[in-house]
Amino acid sequence: MNRRIYNWKCGKHTLQLGEKTRVMGILNVTPDSFSDGGDFVDPDDAVKRALQMVEEGADIIDIGGESTRPGAAPVSVEEEIKRTVPVIKKLRAQSDVLISIDTMKSETALRALEAGANIINDVSGFEADPKMLDVAAESGAGVILMHMKGTPQTMQDNPTYEDAVGEVLHYLEERIAFAVRGGVRRECIVVDPGIGFGKTLEHNLQLLRGIPDLGKSAPVLIGASRKSMIDKLLDREDPNQRGAGSLGIAGWSAALGAHILRVHDVIDTCDVCRIVDTLCIGEL
């Protein structure tokens, strides 16, 4: 087994990482997100979908109220809170699944944690909002620090690296040090190379091949589900046609040691993970 074992602290909860590949189900409560936007704007529909993903085997539900699709317009903090907090409250009332809030704004993170979320998923690696560090440190929430080159508005404008894996690894180690200096416990931190966030197809492939290196300093999350790299490889313009491609990346990532996969298709990804985990452990 090529995965280090970690006990990920998420507030008062602990999620063991490394034995079993963990699956994070994506719940976009945005009218515009590129692959499931508009489906779950109504809080009751959103909670229904979340509970279905829990049933299907999701360990974490990632709730986002702002699209981070390349070129997407930012939304106000009020709007983001209005979209996400009621869903978190309703889901928490019906399930004790771990909930992550996908936000770059500290106010949204704080309100989400108060509503019952356990994890802050900040695609800016704590760079977008200087107050995010304090919210994370004071709450003891789990944190996901992701690498992005540029901003969602600019990130796909000809990104270049001399050594994508080395640079992303260096960046993530620097962000871990920044978070720890600010009072975040190391056991609370998961890192993520940010597939598709300021990367060409070749960079994404290099990062996926580099998962064993990325997993040396902290647990690793990979989010490649339905992303445009699959279109580039398979010519699947419609995100709904990228399911099989996503599962291929999921299997690869799990085998190379990713601890958590952030996906749209929970039931299929859980099947893939059970097969790969069994093969990796060498026993049933």
Q: Rule CB under 6 A: which residues touch ligand 8Y7?
A: 26, 64, 68, 102, 121, 123, 144, 146, 192, 194-195, 221, 223, 227, 262
Q: Which of 90, 175, 227, 236 is catalytic?
A: 227
DSSP collapsed to 3 states, 102-165: ECCCHHHHHHHHHHCCCEEEECCCCCCCCCHHHHHHHHCCEEEEECCCCCCCCCCCCCCCCCHH
Distance CA(31)–CA(73), nearest Å, equals: 12
Instruction: For residue 25, give the nearest of 56, 69, 65 by alpha carbon.
Output: 56
Residue 209: active-site member: no
* R_g over Cα of the chain: 17
Closest to ligand 8Y7 by CB, 94 vs 132, is: 132
Least spacing, CB of residue 50 vs ligand 8Y7, in Å: 16
| Least spacing, CB of residue 103 vs ligand 8Y7, in Å | 9
**How many CB atoms neighbour CB 89 within 10 A?**
16
- Closer to ligand 8Y7 at the Cβ: 103 or 139? 103
The least CB distance from residue 145 to ligand 8Y7, in Å, is 9
Phi, psi of 51 (to 5 degrees): -65, -35
Cβ-closest residue to ligand 8Y7? 223
Per-residue tokens: 28: 């976009």
Contact 8, 246 (CB under 8 A): no
- Does the active-site annotation cover 20? no
Quote the least distance from Cβ 36 to ligand 8Y7, whole Å. Answer: 9
**Which is closer to ligand 8Y7, CB of 191 or CB of 276?**
191
Cα dihedral 259/266/29/67 (nearest 10): 50
User: Smaller CB distance to ligand 8Y7: residue 27 or 47?
Assistant: 27
Indicate which residues carry an active-site annotation: 227, 262
